[in-house]
Amino acid sequence: MTAYEDLIDLDLERTVLGQMLGHDAYGLYIEAGLRREDFYRGVHGMCFEAIQAVQARGETPDLVTVGQEMRRRETLDAIGAAYFGMLADGVPRPTAANVAGLTTGLQELAALRLIREAAQRLTREVTENRSALADGAVAEHLATLERVLLRTPETKAHLGPIEQLAALKADIARDRKAKVWTGFPLVDEALGGCRSGEVCGLMARPGIGKTMVLGHLTRVIAENDLPHVFFSLEMPAAQIVERLARAVYSYGRYELRDRLEIQQIDEPVYHRLFASLRVVDTAGLSIADMASRLRVMQASVFRDQPIRVITIDHLGLIGGDRKMSTYDRVSTQAREIKELAKRLHATVFLAVQVNRDAGGDGSKELGLGAARDSGVVEEAMDYLIALRRLDHSLTLSTMDRERYRDVLFAKVVKNRHGMPGKEVALRLDVRNLTLTEDPTLQADQNDLARIASMSSRR
């Protein structure tokens, strides 16, 4: 069993207190969910309580104000004035990601100590008293484990007005740095960037181009060097990589394959661009499975920086409890994805299939209620982009369809932070599978009216 001393990190506790005292980081730590019981050393907990008291009065907690509060509480002698005065020495300036990591570290150690102590009590009682089961020792142990499970990082302490504004300011500071852009100027103008902790759905019927759009987003994310995990639940990794490589090298499918076979391709170009991308192609993963893999990657390959983007292709292939109805299962998964985004402070891009009636031939305009199997999918989305292709229309003539050949039309139909956008034309280069926004191309209103009219008759 792990030595108890390994579950104590006093340097970590000092760093957290030092950042609050030296860099006014109390609001960031409250937003991250830090609590008094996360500190092991009693005097560190007393210091935290004094910081809380100073903040509650509307003052800035620093060495002077907190020192005075501890003197008033008669706890300064317990910690030692000299020790207290050095808490902020050499402490690095906090960032939102740094604060989240330090808070999680303290909470994990506190939880492990609680579990160890409960296990030792249970072992002692069972050894000394064979009727421990009847006496409720096991029930007490299980209750302890339940309390630990409920102490998740996303569970915040209650916030007073000071903490509320501090949390808002921390969110604004994080938001400025953490937006993810699509690389389509008109779409980005409508969205204002996708924020951390939020979910952006790409909705279309099969075969319209959701995965191509996800590939485009993956390249934009890579160009901005954002840590990104792509869960491909449908296509094997090789097919995803082939699509990315065709765009990077501007090769057609067969030319790319031929060049790879004879080793006439500059592989380091791909290595450098996608250094922060990890692809997972295991089929049938549940949201819990994905969360577990993300935790492992965050602790290993991404240990120096938080995962910023998660892509899931697609919602209908996520594993889950097959005893539930499809509607209930997909509804539950949509909510779990939203919770995952919030917990990891990551942006999630999610491909969503539309129901058969809404999808039609792929040319029909899609609304919020078009998501397959669930009335709550659109509620869980912070942003929802509908995709359609007019060149797939069975209503338009061959000549009419030719005007829209190899063009996807994208429209923001839900935007939690603003108004929906206008429909935007995205031209597809079928050779290398790249997409380029074309602001000059607009669908003819007569064509749209015919498509809408025929769709309504079906």
**81-132 pLDDT, tens per residue?**
999 999 999 898 888 778 888 998 998 888 888 888 877 777 777 777 665 5
- Measured between its terminal Cα atoms, the distance across the chain in Å is 67
pLDDT tens figures, 317-343 = 998 777 777 777 888 888 889 989 988
Distances (CA, A) of 153 to 97, 101, 361: 13, 10, 45
The residues facing 93 across adjacent strands are none
* Cβ partners under 8 Å of residue 448, min gap 6: 365
Task: Say which residues have a Cβ less than 8 Å from residue 274's Cβ, sequence separation at least 6.
Answer: 222, 244
What the chain holds in terms of domains, given with CATH numbers, is 4-163 (1.10.860.10), 179-457 (3.40.50.300)
Please give the structure tokens belonging to residue 89: 């020495």
Helix (H, G, I), strand (E, B) or coil at 202: strand
Name the token pair of 239: 């097919």
Let me know the angle formed at the C-alpha of 103 by 99 and 106, rounded to the nearest 5 degrees. Answer: 145
* Residue 53, CA distances (Å) to 26, 46, 58, 78, 445 in order: 11, 11, 9, 18, 63
Over residues 191-244, the pLDDT tens digits come to: 989 998 999 999 999 899 999 999 999 999 999 999 999 999 999 999 999 999
What is the per-residue pLDDT across 38-84, written as a single tens digit (0 to 9) for each? 999 999 999 999 999 998 888 889 999 999 999 999 999 999 999 99
How far, CA to CA in Å, does 229 sit from each of 65, 247, 273, 276, 336? 44, 19, 14, 8, 17
The partner residues of 209 in beta bridges, in order of sequence, read: none
Of the candidates 189, 191, 233, the one whose C-alpha atom is nearest the C-alpha of residue 214 is 233
Residue 435 DSSP one-character state: E
Backbone angles phi, psi at 385, to 5 degrees: -110, 120
Cα–Cα–Cα angle for 354, 198, 190, rounded to 5 degrees: 75
Model pLDDT for residues 352-407, shown as the tens digit of each residue = 988 766 667 899 988 877 765 555 677 788 999 999 999 999 999 999 999 999 99
pLDDT value of position 137: 64
pLDDT band at 135 (very low <50, low <70, confident <90, very high): low
- In this structure, what is the dihedral angle of CA atoms 349, 353, 359, 361, given to the nearest 10 degrees? 90
Q: What is the pLDDT of residues 141-153, one digit of tens each?
A: 666 665 665 554 4
Question: How wide is the angle at C-alpha 290 spanned by C-alphas 288 and 296, nearest 5°?
Answer: 105
- pLDDT at 372 (0 to 100): 58
Are 340 and 348 within 8 A, CB to CB? yes
Residue burial 106-138, b: 16+ Cβ < 10 Å; e: rest:
bbebbbbebbeebeeebeebbeeeeebeeeebe
